[in-house]
């Protein structure tokens, strides 16, 4: 049995649910366990720990139709999907064709403070993790013999640190509560202070947590020293955003620690995003911390595959009037991307395509140079060319405007279907783990920190790391001057210091949930000097208010906690 099944099957009988309005662990159902009843045996503590990881992937205990928190659509409000939407949809990487009340403001970067599913979900589910970890740590001293309490404590504290890092990055100043300062109305914490607290927590996890350097086998997907160092590296790179101070030396040192943990780049880029990506050793060795998904053991709509695929397939099948038409369509989808259907929601902006090189500068998939650009530029049904740029309103124009992104797949890395599905019709839920942190990202974090610090001692290694990524994409090598250059951003006229590194991050990491944070670090997210399809609600793009560098604190928390204050710029909206 693989790591995903063990991790998720462990929580199925945990029986703990929550309403997070006051950050207490209060069950929605009076028949389920509260923490004081739930933690008795070693198995209970194993289940509780597994739950902390599973919140990233699962909406609730009982499958895709259930939610631990009362928040809205279970599909859009899984943590990994909501986090991804917050990080990608408002940016130059993606626009959403789905017709929901929050979709247009997210496409345009014009949201306000009204209840918005992804904004609400990231906040509530991260605070749910915090609440569960706090209770877990309070109960852990009572754990029976046979439990490595230090190890379990370190895993729980990593999960809480990751949740607080996410809250800091998305909202800036979340409420702050630990097992030592419980309050129904916790105080808000400034991002620089939260940064220092997360740093201290992660260093404790590394130095005293009794964790292996790198998790393998059935423990893959759990915290280890490598994931803690990698999260520190990511946080250090963005320290100016959070604290106003640079931490490039610390970032370089954290990256170099990751390099000693035994991770290796995958030979095949596409394998990192396939249905067997943490079972295939080549891909698994690059993925430092995945959000585990399993189409057999779990039911969750944390699905980036069906949502990025067309709802119409080839003409022969769509025009078939026989009773077998539905089955044929399921089979086509299953054989081509590993799920039974497409939802026609997410696709690329034209600006994302501009980051890639093409032979003769002719923008088509026949001419793309970089193997990392995994797109489709023609429809299946009528083989019409998709417009590179989203010229019409993003909602409802999936089949005409914007190239499709086929980076994620639920097939094995060799292109065959996964064995867990008995028929195409049963391929509803995916098994493609989401690489929340991977070595390719750490290589680029290292390169950027070295360049910004002008660290001559590590410059040659930084160039080498970037060239390893570019060689995998089958594109030309770069040198030190390239690394340090001021360069244009993608196909725009806007230049920024170290712009080549930002462009390389786009090609390597597009659609992996890092884009918003990257654009903020480069001063571009709200800028009028760098725009993209439908930024600011205008087709050609326009600058927006700087308040959009953070998301608003959900009104549900502001109204229940008098110690919370809204982020600047959202006070009257």
369-400 residue pLDDT tens: 999 999 999 999 999 999 999 999 999 999 99
Report the pLDDT value the prediction gives residue 33, as an integer from 0 to 100: 54
Q: 547 pLDDT exceeds 70?
A: yes
Give the contacts of 139 (CB within 8 A, at least 6 positions apart).
35, 36, 39, 45, 48
pLDDT computed for residue 17 by the predictor: 43
User: 95-96 and 346-347 as β-strands: parallel, antiparallel, unpaired?
Assistant: antiparallel
The Cα–Cα gap between 171 and 130 comes to 15
Question: Bridge-partner residues for 487, per DSSP?
Answer: 496
What is the helix, strand, coil percentage profile of the chain, to 5? 45, 5, 50
Report which of 242, 100, 95 is spatially closest to residue 173, judged by C-alpha positions.
242
At residue 224, the pLDDT reads: 98
Residue 12: predicted pLDDT = 41
The single-letter DSSP state of residue 247 is -
Asked if pLDDT for residue 324 goes beyond 80, the answer is yes
Higher local confidence (pLDDT), 374 or 3: 374
Residue 501 has pLDDT above 50, yes or no: yes
The dihedral over CA atoms of 187, 191, 192, 194, expressed in degrees to the nearest 10, equals: 60
* Residue 61 reports pLDDT greater than 90: no
Alpha carbon separation from 315 to 270, 289, 321, 382, 383 (Å, rounded): 28, 41, 12, 7, 9
Region 436-450 average pLDDT: 98
Region 490-506: mean pLDDT is 98
Residue 567 pLDDT exceeds 50: yes
Mean pLDDT of the chain, nearest integer: 92
Please report the pLDDT score of residue 480 as a whole number.
Answer: 98
DSSP category for residue 422 = S
Average pLDDT score over residue span 172-201: 96
pLDDT band of 10, cuts 50, 70, 90: very low
Residue 223: Cβ within 10 Å count: 28
Nearest to 353 by CA among 344, 362, 363: 363
Look at residue 241 in the predicted model and tell me its pLDDT.
98
Looking at the chain, the whole-number percentage of residues with pLDDT higher than 90 is 86
pLDDT at 59: 77
Residue 513's pLDDT band, with cuts at 50, 70 and 90, is very high
Q: Which residues pair with 403 in a beta bridge?
A: none
CA-closest candidate to residue 388, choices 374, 376, 371, 380: 376
pLDDT digits 0-9 by tens, 333-370: 999 999 999 999 999 999 999 999 999 999 999 999 99
The answer to whether residue 20 scores a pLDDT higher than 60 is: no
Q: What is the pLDDT, as a whole number, of residue 32?
A: 47
pLDDT tens digits, 21-60: 334 433 334 444 556 667 999 999 999 999 999 999 987 7
pTM of the predicted model over 0.75: yes
- Choose between 236 and 145: higher pLDDT: 236
Q: What is the pLDDT of residue 15?
A: 46
Judged on CB neighbours under 10 Å (0-12, 13-18, 19+), 25 is buried
From its phi and psi, is residue 317 left (phi > 0), alpha (psi between -120 and 50) or beta? alpha
71-85 pLDDT tens trace: 766 656 899 999 999
pLDDT at 346: 97
């Amino acid at each position: 049995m693989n790591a995903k099944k063990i991790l998720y099957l462990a929580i199925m009988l945990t029986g703990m649910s929550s309403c997070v309005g006051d950050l207490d662990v209060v069950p929605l159902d009076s028949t389920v366990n509260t923490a004081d009843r739930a933690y008795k045996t070693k198995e209970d503590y194993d289940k509780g720990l597994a739950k902390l990881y599973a919140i990233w992937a699962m909406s609730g205990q009982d499958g895709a139709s259930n939610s631990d928190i009362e928040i809205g659509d279970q599909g859009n409000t899984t943590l990994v999907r909501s986090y991804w939407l917050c990080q990608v949809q408002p940016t130059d990487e993606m626009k959403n064709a789905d017709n929901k009340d929050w979709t247009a403001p997210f496409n345009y970067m014009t949201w306000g403070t009204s209840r918005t599913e992804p904004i609400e979900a990231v906040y509530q589910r991260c605070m749910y993790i915090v609440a569960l970890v706090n209770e877990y740590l309070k109960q852990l001293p009572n754990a029976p013999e046979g439990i490595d309490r230090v190890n379990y404590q370190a895993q729980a504290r990593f999960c809480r640190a990751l949740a607080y890092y996410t809250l800091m990055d998305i909202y800036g100043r979340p409420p702050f509560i630990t097992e030592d300062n419980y309050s129904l109305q916790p105080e808000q914490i400034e991002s620089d202070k939260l940064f220092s607290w997360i740093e201290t927590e992660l260093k404790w996890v590394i130095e005293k947590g009794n964790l292996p350097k790198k998790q393998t086998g059935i423990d893959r997907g759990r915290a280890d020293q490598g994931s803690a160092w990698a999260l520190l590296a990511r946080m250090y790179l963005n320290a100016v955003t959070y604290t106003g101070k640079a931490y490039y030396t610390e970032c370089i040192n954290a990256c170099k620690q990751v390099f000693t943990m035994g991770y290796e780049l995958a030979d095949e880029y596409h394998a990192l995003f396939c249905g067997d990506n943490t079972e295939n050793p080549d891909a698994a060795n690059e993925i430092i911390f995945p959000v585990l998904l399993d189409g057999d053991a779990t039911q969750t709509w944390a699905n980036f595959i069906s949502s990025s695929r067309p709802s119409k397939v080839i003409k022969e099948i769509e025009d078939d009037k026989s009773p077998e038409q539905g089955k044929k369509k399921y089979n086509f989808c299953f054989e081509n991307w590993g799920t039974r259907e497409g939802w026609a929601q997410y696709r690329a902006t034209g600006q994302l395509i501009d980051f890639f090189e093409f032979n003769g500068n002719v923008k088509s998939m026949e001419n793309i140079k970089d193997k990392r650009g995994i797109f489709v530029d023609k429809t299946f049904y009528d083989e019409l060319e998709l417009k590179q740029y989203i010229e019409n309103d993003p909602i409802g124009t999936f089949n005409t405007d914007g190239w499709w992104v086929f980076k994620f797949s639920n097939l094995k890395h060799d292109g065959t279907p996964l064995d867990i599905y008995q028929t195409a019709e049963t391929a509803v839920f995916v098994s493609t783990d989401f690489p929340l942190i991977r070595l390719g990202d750490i290589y680029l974090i290292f390169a950027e920190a070295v360049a910004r610090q002008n660290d001559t001692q590590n410059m040659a290694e930084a160039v080498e790391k970037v060239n390893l990524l570019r060689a995998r994409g089958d594109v030309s090598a770069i040198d030190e001057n390239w690394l340090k250059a001021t360069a244009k951003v993608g196909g725009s006229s806007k230049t920024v210091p170290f712009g080549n590194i930002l462009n390389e991050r786009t090609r390597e990491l597009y659609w992996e949930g890092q884009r918003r944070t990257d654009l903020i670090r480069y001063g571009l997210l709200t800028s009028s000097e760098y725009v993209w399809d439908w930024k600011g609600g205008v087709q050609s793009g326009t600058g927006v208010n700087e308040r959009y560098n953070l998301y608003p604190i959900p009104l549900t928390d502001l109204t229940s906690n008098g110690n919370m204050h809204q982020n600047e710029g959202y006070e009257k909206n």
